Amino acid sequence: MNILLVYPRYPDTFWSFRYSLKFIHKKSSFPPLGLLTVAAMLPESWSVRLVDMNVSPLTERVLAWADYVFLSAMTVQQESVRQVIAQCNAADVKIVAGGPLFTTGHDRFTDIDHFVLNEAEITLPVFIEDVGRNDVKPLYASSEWADVTTTPIPRWDLIKMNRYSAMSIQYSRGCPFDCDFCDIPVLYGHKPRIKTQNQVIQELEALYESGWRHSVFFVDDNFIGNKKKLKQEILPAITAWRRENKYPFSFLTQVSMELADDDTLMDAMVEAGFNRVFVGIETPHDESLIECSKYQNSNRDMVASIKKMQRAGLLVEGGFIVGFDGDPLSIFETQIRFIQETGVVTAMVGLLNVLPNTKLYYRLNAQKRIITHMSGNNTDCTINFIPKMSKETLINGYKRLMRTLYSPKYYYARVITLLKEYRHRQRKKLQFRLSHIGAFAKSVIRLGIFGKERYYYWQLIVWTLFRKPRLLGFTIGYAINGFHFRQIAKRYHQHNASCSTNVY
């Protein structure tokens, strides 16, 4: 049995980092962890290949080899998904689809032969058994949650690691919170299910033995969902393993705002090698936080919380949303002031959109405000519901917000604000690799000589050299990422750019 795992292409978005990856000669930020894990669940007698369309094309030759194409995707990849389906149908290759896009919306893809939905630990073995009996059904689904202590180590041998800027592992699934716009509770439940200490160390060992020596992303939607287990077992084990292996990795992950309330946990994460965290901040407007059930962020001084994490040694990246019913007309200026004051350089601001089967979906659907399916890209000026604020006001305010945030003046000012607060506390010294030197040289040419932002670029470089020279690597990285963000902002947020509520 020949199985071809296919991961569709991401569109150019803030999250793709496609423009900044060119500075370091990488094709994609992260590998398709889900498909690599699925590959490890397949029978050893099956031949397996993987095509990540973000790093290489899907060709007729490799399709001709396959008995089945296993297709996994998120909502934002749906345009590429439909292209893959057309290619497979033309080549007469059967498709087996799974992952978030299909788990919540498989009924929109009638040209797919088989769906293996929900968590593969439960539904994939049933599919494999039916293949052996030559009795494969069109749909495999389950309402149960998988035991992640049975999840195997991903098949890292299926990819070329040097095409990616970071690797990924997963420690837990699920989130204890219940934000009404979020589909994580729908996909993975409220109770965090966690892997064992041995599993985490074995997965780090597998990456190390594969030759990886750069950043590793813990993809958990809320890494700190079980704080006691982290502090007592997982983080001490990671700390000891890094020390024994001479600090080969640094880590980034996603956390909730309440991390700022736990000094012990922040210190343990930094000691274990974590230097970046993504936080769902959403909005500084408390009424909108309560509206969307983001209670963990409401009634707190979020500016102080963010600066506390920065001073603890964690670079805070943030997700923000505009378009809540409770947002006042001043929300756009409020977001700008908040983001600038906190120094959240990587500020992923998106328009509110409605994911299927979420609490927000059921609430707005009852009000007959859902227009169509979500595109998955909440930064391209599309919305799939009728907002309380007029659509024109919302879209124009959002475009103005993004143009401002990613203008050189505001962006570089945020970098300096961050660097003033941030305390570098990593054990391993910051080192320039050959790729870093090349990226710096390219940034000098592209940004420092020919870029419209060259004044701000050199101002930042000089400030860093005199004030915090150890952070020069971070500074260059932020300058390069800023170039990517501006290219995306120009694409979607120019004054004359058209916006529509239609997705297709």
What's the pLDDT at 503? 36
**Cα distances (angstroms) measured from residue 461 to each of 207, 311, 363, 409, 415:** 34, 21, 49, 14, 11
Confidence of residue 491 (pLDDT cuts 50, 70, 90): confident
**Token pair listed for 193:** 């299910």
Does residue 498 carry a pLDDT above 60? no
Read off the pTM. Answer: 0.94
Buried/exposed 365-391: b ≥16 CB within 10 Å, e otherwise: eeeeebbebbbbbbbbbbbbbebebee
Q: pLDDT tens across 277-296, in order?
A: 999 999 999 999 999 999 99
Does residue 73 carry a pLDDT above 50? yes
What's the pLDDT at 148? 97
Q: pLDDT tens across 217-254, in order?
A: 999 999 999 999 999 999 999 999 999 999 999 999 99
Read off the DSSP letter of residue 153.
P
What's the pLDDT at 30? 97
Contact yes or no for 376/397 (Cβ under 8 A): no
What's the pLDDT at 158? 98
Mean pLDDT, all residues of the chain: 94
**Mean pLDDT value across residues 299-316:** 97
Domains (range + CATH), the chain: 2-140 (3.40.50.280), 165-353 (3.20.20.70)
What's the pLDDT at 428? 58
What's the pLDDT at 490? 82
**Cα distances (angstroms) measured from residue 497 to each of 76, 208, 398, 491:** 20, 46, 12, 8
Q: pLDDT tens across 239-249, in order?
A: 999 999 999 99
CB atoms within 10 A of CB 45: 6
What percent of the chain is modeled with pLDDT above 90? 89
CB atoms within 10 A of CB 498: 7
User: Cα–Cα–Cα angle for 229, 29, 336, nearest 5°?
Assistant: 80
How far from each other are the two terminal CA atoms of the chain, in whole angstroms? 36
Could you please report the per-residue DSSP string of 226-263?
SHHHIIIIIHHHHHHHHHHTTS--EEEEEE-GGGGG-H
